[in-house]
Amino acid sequence: MSKLVTIYGGSGFVGRYIARRMAQAGWRVRVAVRRPNEALHVKPYGVVGQVEPVLCNVRNDASVAAAMAGSDAVVNCVGTFDRGGKNNFSAVQAEAPGRIARIAAASGVQTLVHISAIGANPEGGSLYARSKGEGEKAVLAAFPNAMILRPSVIFGSEDHFFNRFAAMSRLGAILPVVGAGTRFQPVHVDDVAQAAVKGVLGQAHGIYELGGPEVATFRDLMGKMLGIIRRRRLVLNTPFFVAKAMATALDFGSALTLGLIPNKILTRDQVDSLKSDNVVSAGARGFADLGIEPTDMDSVLPEYLWCHRPSGQYAAIMESAKNLRKA
């Protein structure tokens, strides 16, 4: 019988790519999620019955153990940007990784891969970074041979980075950003999945920081995105003290409604996170050590950002027509 991998959060942005690659490699894939009925899109990644969504609450030992039963390998892709509620930073990114690693070690799981983030540090400057760092520490304490991946901002057709700001650019002539000078090293989602597969197969362990071939400031990334979607906008930097005041008001509004109106615009913790560069550290192991050539943004972004162009899929035809008129 083929081997089994359980992927916690396997229907999410990164998890689905790992699930697809593991299915292509012939593994049985168990996708552990909170709402299996919303994860049915993963089933066609393999033959009938090869990829199966199952119910799991990563805050509960018994639920995590049930989802992991019989697994040869485990991948944890669960993460959050919410600092409040039951599924907050502490519960999801600090405690849950340790729980998964502890149960995996006790269950005799052979390999474990944990998806973290660049900047993860128990003493970091944001709650997000600190929770990620605490999660890594808990994983390594329970499963010393685990593979931990720290990607920079991840791009791909389902991303919430370029897609989000491309959608915002439709609203007016100004595109406000916080931390315009902060540097990023965007990495393609499928490259992260390839790295995770190496860990599942036992070909690598330890900590790897993953960044693409290009380092650019937030402002430059927005300029690249605007060029692709054919929109001219003024990228306006919002000073950190102004952004912090705005985020505080938005967080307060969310708290006042007891979370009924969540703050999905800008939080105080996001402002704190944007104060630090998000690039691969000097001397860190990365794609080169895994034998993976990272994908450049220019070869991928146009494939999915075209829908944000003023003329959508007809943009190329209209541009071609303009050239004919000039001729």
pLDDT of amino acid 311: 83
Spatial strand order in the sheet of 206-210: 51-55, 28-33, 4-8, 73-76, 111-115, 147-151, 206-210
pLDDT of amino acid 83: 80
pLDDT of amino acid 258: 79
Residue 68, CA atoms < 13 Å, CB-side half-sphere: 28
pLDDT of amino acid 327: 56
Instruction: Say whether 234 sits in a helix, a strand or coil.
Output: strand
**pLDDT single digits (tens) 195-230:** 999 999 999 999 999 999 999 999 999 999 999 999
**pLDDT single digits (tens) 90-139:** 999 999 999 999 999 999 999 999 999 999 999 999 999 999 999 999 99
pLDDT of amino acid 250: 94
Q: Work out the percent of the chain whose per-residue pLDDT is above 70.
A: 96
Q: For residues 240 and 178, is the Cβ–Cβ distance under 8 A?
A: yes
Phi and psi at residue 50, to the nearest 5°: -75, -35
Q: Could you give the C-alpha distances from 307 to 166, 227, 315, in angstroms and in order?
A: 9, 13, 9
User: Is this prediction's pTM over 0.85?
Assistant: yes
Per-chain mean pLDDT for the chain: 95
**pLDDT single digits (tens) 13-68:** 999 999 999 999 999 999 999 999 999 999 999 999 999 999 999 999 999 999 99
CATH code assigned to 4-156+186-214+277-295: 3.40.50.720
Q: For residues 243 and 323, is the Cβ–Cβ distance under 8 A?
A: no
- DSSP letters, 255-290, are HHTTTSS---S--HHHHHHTTS-BSPPTT---HHHH
Residues 291-318: what's their mean pLDDT? 90
pLDDT of amino acid 149: 98
Give the confidence band of 262 by pLDDT, cuts at 50, 70, 90: confident
Q: Where are the domains of the chain?
A: 4-156+186-214+277-295
**pLDDT single digits (tens) 159-198:** 999 999 999 999 999 999 999 999 999 999 999 999 999 9
pLDDT of amino acid 25: 97
Q: Could you give the C-alpha distances from 256 to 82, 127, 149, 194, 251, in angstroms and in order?
A: 16, 21, 37, 43, 9
Continuous segment of H or E residues that includes residue 238: strand 234-238
Q: Is the pLDDT of residue 324 over 90?
A: no
